[in-house]
Amino acid sequence: MRVFISVDMEGTAGVVDWAQCVGDGPEAMAGRRLLLGEVNAAIDGAIAAGATEFLVNDGHAAMRNLAPDDLHGEATLITGWHRPTDMMEGLDDSFDAAFLVSYHGSMGSELGNMSHSFNPRAVAEARLNGQVVGESVINALVAAHYGVPVVLVTGDQTGCAETVDVLPDITTAVVKDSITRAAAASLHPRRACAVIRDAAERSLTTLDRVAGRPFPTPSTLEIHWRTPDMADMATWVRGIERTGPRTTEISDSDLLALYRRFIAAITLTRVVAEDV
Task: Judge whether 116 counts as a catalytic residue.
Answer: yes
Using DSSP's 3-state secondary structure scheme, residue 67 falls into coil
Is the peptide bond preceding residue 168 cis, with omega within 30 degrees of 0? no
Task: Give the H or E element holding residue 6.
Answer: strand 2-7
By the 8 A CB rule, do 116 and 123 touch?
yes
By the 8 A CB rule, do 58 and 110 touch?
no
Residue of 180, 34, 162 lying closest to 103 (CA atoms): 162
Strands, sheet with 131-132, edge to edge from the N-terminal-most edge strand: 131-132, 123-128, 219-225, 247-252, 241-244
Distance separating alpha carbons of residues 29 and 8, to the nearest angstrom: 15
Distance separating alpha carbons of residues 206 and 126, to the nearest angstrom: 28
Distance separating alpha carbons of residues 76 and 247, to the nearest angstrom: 38
Look at strands 150-156 and 171-180 and give their pairing.
Answer: parallel
Q: Which of 60, 116, 145, 224 is catalytic?
A: 116
Count other Cβ atoms within 10 Å, centred on residue 50. 11
**CA distance from start to end of the chain:** 45
Residue of 164, 153, 157 lying closest to 185 (CA atoms): 157
Residues with catalytic annotation?
116
